[in-house]
Amino acid sequence: MPRRTAATLATSGEVLRLIRTGEAVTRADLGRVTGLSRPAVQLRVGELLERGLVVERTDAPSTGGRPPVRLEFNAGGGVVLVAALGASRTRVAVCDLAGSELAGRDFAIDVEQGPDVVLPLLMDTWDELLGDRPRSMIRGVGMGVPATVEFAQGRTESARVMASWTGVLIPPIIRERFPVPVLVDNDVNVLAIGEHRGAYPDLDDLMFVKVSTRIGAGIIAGGEILRGALGAAGEIGHIPVLDGAGVLCRCGNTDCVDSVASGTALLRDLREAGKDVKTIADVTALVRAGDAETMAMVRTAGRRIGEVLAGAVNILNPSVVVLGGDVAEAFGPLVSSIREVVYRRSTALATRRLRIEPSRLGSGAGIGGCAVMVLDHVLSPEAVDESMTLSAVRR
C-alpha cells in the first residue's frame, strides 16, 4: 500500500476514515495527522456532521479547562439493505452503518423460481423491515447469491446451475426501486467475508467452505476476498474426485465433488439405498441412531471433500479452513473425515499450523458479510467524496 501523505489525507472521505478507525478523534488530531489547517479541518468535519456520518461528544476526559470535543463515527447515520440468498433459504435484513442488524427476516424460497419472483420479494421485504425509517437513510445494498457472479457488474453467470438467473444484471433491477450503490457477490464469498471480519479479524489467510445443498468456497488471501479475474475463484464444487463413478454434475462435467458429496448428493444416494430421507434433518436422525450405511456414506462424502480441500490447502496455505453450511454443521463424522484426508494429503508445511474448524458465526456470517461488503464500498474515502460532490452539484 502506498504511503499516505497530507495531500492524500485532505478529503472529507479520508477524514471520515481516520475517525472510523480511531486514528484521529478530535479536530486537533486531524490537523496533526493530515497536516490540514484548522479552517480546512473544520470544513471537512462540518461536511461529515451535515451528512450525519459523524457526531460530536463532549464527555471526553479533560486535563484542565474545557474538555475537547470528541468526534465519533455515527453508525446510526444511515442503513444498508442486505440479503443472503441460499438455494432454499434466505435471510433479509436492514443493518446500521456499523453492520449491526436492526431488523431481519428468514424465509424459505427456491431461488430457481428466478429473479422475476425472488427479487421483488426481497425488495418488498426490505420495504417492510425499513418501517418508518426514511428512505433517504439508505446508503447501499449488499447481496450474496448462490451462483457464480461477475462481481464488477453484479451479473450472475451460472449456466446450467440457477439457469433462470444466467446473465442477469441484478444491480439495475434493485436500483430502480432503491437508487443507491448495489453490490452482488457469490454467497460463499460473503460468508467468508463475514466469518473473517467477525470471527478471525487477526488472520490474513482463511478459506470458508460451505457444505450444504451445494459445495463452494470463499477465499481470504492477504486479508482481502480473492475473487479472481472475473469472480470465479473458489468454485471448488466443480473439481472432480477420483472415484466418483461417472456421476453427471449440473455443470455438465462428471464426478465433481458437488455432485458426489453435497447435501443433495447424500440425499440422492440414501434414497437409492432405500432410506426414507427428504431433508438433511432426516439424514441427521439416521446418523444419531447409528445407522451403519448412512454413517459410511457420510464418511465417504467427507473423504471426497477432503481430497479436494487438500489440493486447495497446498495451493493457498490458509491459516484456517472454516467449515459451514447445514451439512458440515450437522455431521461430526463428515468433518472428521475431511480433517483426516487434508492432514494426510497436504504438505507438512501447509498443515503445520493449519486449523480446520466449524463456523463460529453460522448463518449470521452471510448477513454480516453482505453488510461488510457494501459498507466497505459506500464508506470508502472515494465513495464518500463522490457522494459529497454529487450532493453539491444537486444544490
Give the model confidence (pLDDT) of 51-65 as tens digits: 999 999 887 565 556
Q: How far apart are CA 197 and CA 176, in angstroms?
A: 31
Residues 286-302: tens digit of each pLDDT: 988 989 999 999 999 99
pLDDT of the residue at 123: 96
**Element (H or E) spanning 376, and its range?**
helix 364-378
The set of residues, in sequence order, having a beta carbon less than 8 Å from that of 36 and lying 6+ positions away, is 6, 9, 10, 30, 44
90 phi, psi to nearest 5 deg: -135, 145
Residue pair 188/238 in contact (Cβ under 8 Å)? The answer is no
Find out if CATH 3.30.470.10 is the number for domain 12-73. Answer: no
Torsion-angle region of residue 238: left (phi > 0), alpha (psi -120 to 50) or beta?
alpha
Cα-based distances in Å from 130 to 22, 237, 245: 30, 36, 50
Q: What is the pLDDT of residue 89?
A: 83
**What pLDDT does 159 receive?**
52
- Burial (CB count <10 Å: 0-12, 13-18, 19+), residue 340: middle
The answer to whether domain 79-190+366-393 and domain 200-364 are alike in fold is: yes
* Cell 479533560 -> residue: 62
In CATH terms, the fold of domain 79-190+366-393 is Nucleotidyltransferase; domain 5 (3.30.420)
Helix (H, G, I), strand (E, B) or coil at 226: coil
Superfamily of domain 200-364: ATPase, nucleotide binding domain (3.30.420.40)
Taking the model in full, what pTM does it have? 0.91
What is the distance between the alpha carbons of residues 78 and 53, in angstroms, rounded to a whole number?
8
What ranges do the domains of the chain cover?
A: 12-73, 79-190+366-393, 200-364
List of the chain residues with pLDDT < 70: 1-9, 60-66, 158-161, 391-395
pLDDT at site 393: 62
Strands 138-145 and 79-85: parallel
Query: What's residue 332's pLDDT?
Result: 86
pLDDT at 138: 96
> What is the separation, in whole angstroms, between the first and last Cα of the chain?
36
